[in-house]
Chain A
Amino acid sequence: MCRVIDVRQAVLARNDALAGALRKELASRRTTVVNLLSSPGSGKTALLERVLAALVERGVPVAALTADLATENDARRLARSGAPVKQVLTGGLCHLEAAQLRGHLRGWLPADTRVLFVENVGNLVCPAAYDLGETLRVTLMSVTEGEDKPLKYPMAFGLAHLVVLTKNDIADAVDFDRPAFTGNVVRVNPGVGIVPTSARTGAGVDGLVERILAVAEGAAVHRPVMAGRVREGRLLQDAPDDVPAGQR
């Protein structure tokens, strides 16, 4: 004998609910979360150093939380900007979850923070599935990684609100095919913005900072096609406010 219970619930419902609550709580104190996703070695930290420095210079209260499997090297680098920085060691876990982030913010995040950057674990697979309560999800890729990366990691690029190309100063040296890259990005995420940057020369950093500040001021964020949400067995496209950012 067995009893059949109709569940019809997203597997990550708990994470999504926590992320939604975190987004609401942070929004009430005017903090915008930017979730940064990329492969290891894409230059996430180097670019973030630049972005933090630019925001600190403009007098914007910012903070950064950086997640790695091990070492506190990234936090040391980012702290040079003068912004509050926290290193999270996941101890081998391949991604951050909303509950972890919430725990790490408690008692640490300064109340007046306008933009909180979360540098996710360097990995383009697992972090894509977890909403962290972010308003802006940025997927980064360097010119050395190959134009077809968006097709190899369609979730990471398909759910991004913004795509950032890094190390653009060496694009010619590595024969980076920019039109092919753009084509692959819009194939999985029609309409998403792409910002080329170079942490070495500083090119594109101001443009990126402007975009982030606009979102912090309430500008509309791109809604990826892939972000249709499943609820009770149906895909919801016209997402209400409480829908996870990664699925908007």
Chain B
Amino acid sequence: MHELSIATAIVERATELARRHDAAGVEAVRVRVGEMSGVVPDALRFSFEVAREGTVVEAARLVVEEVPARARCAACEKEFAVGTPPFLWCPHCDSPTTRLLSGRELEITVIELAEATA
């Protein structure tokens, strides 16, 4: 259950940006969470609600975009869904030499700041 640490890192980054841009608050934080990132989106949403309390991010929505894990086979060049649990062998030619295309994302994409009302 490291989602709380992850959520805290998100809140810290959003707080920094809000301060730097002199924003009154944060309306939304958009994140991408890969299927193989090791983070459970529901646990992250719950943790975010705890982590944001008492910060400028307090009223912000967390918008999670889930990214499926996909890989490309280096041998036959076909793409495939890695699945859960992951299978990093090519289902077309049974070759182990695959390259990951997506699925490990754990990133903040966009932060929407509320304008100061002054």
Interface positions of A (Cβ within 8 A of B):
1-12, 14-15, 93-95, 97, 125-126, 128-130, 151-152, 154-155, 158, 186-191, 225-230, 233, 235, 237, 247
Contact A187–B87 (Cβ < 8 Å) = yes
Q: Are B100 and A235 within 8 A (Cβ)? A: yes
Contact B88 A129 (CB under 8 A): no
7 nearest A-B residue pairs (beta carbon): A190-B96, A126-B2, A228-B100, A151-B85, A155-B38, A1-B115, A7-B108
- From the candidates B27, B39, B100, B113, name the one contacting A225 in the complex (CB within 8 A): B100
A85 to B89, CA, bound (A): 41
Our pick among A11, A126, A155 for the contact of B13 (Cβ within 8 Å) is A11
> Which residues from 69 to 93 on chain B have a C-beta closer than 8 Å to any C-beta of chain A?
71, 84-89
Give A6 to B107 CA distance when docked, in angstroms.
12
B interface vs A, CB < 8 Å? 1-2, 5-6, 9-10, 12-13, 17, 21, 23, 27-28, 31-32, 34, 36-39, 71, 84-89, 96-102, 104-115
Main secondary structure of the interface of B (DSSP, over half): mixed
B99: A residues at CB distance < 8 A = 225, 228, 237
Known interface pairs A1-B115, A187-B88; 19 further A-B residue pairs with C-beta atoms within 8 A, sorted by A's residue number: A2-B115, A4-B111, A5-B110, A7-B13, A8-B107, A9-B13, A10-B107, A11-B9, A11-B10, A11-B106, A129-B37, A151-B85, A187-B86, A189-B88, A190-B97, A230-B104, A230-B106, A233-B109, A237-B100
Instruction: Specify which of A2, A93, A125 lies most central, judged by the most chain B CB atoms within 10 Å of its CB.
Output: A2
- Chain A residue numbers with a CB within 8 Å of B13 are 7, 9, 11
Contact B105 A125 (CB under 8 A): no
Question: Closest Cβ of chain A: how far from B84's Cβ, in Å?
Answer: 8
**Contact across chains for A95 and B2 when beta carbons are under 8 A apart:** yes
CB neighbours of A225 from chain B (8 A): 71, 88, 98-100
In the bound complex, how far is the Cα of B27 from the Cα of A229, in angstroms? Answer: 29
Task: Report the Cα distance A5→B100, complex, angstroms.
Answer: 28
In the bound complex, CA of A111 to CA of B17 (Å)? 38
A226 and B113 contact, CB distance less than 8 A: no
Measured between beta carbons, the chain B residues less than 8 angstroms from A128 are 38
A189 to B36, CA, bound (A): 13
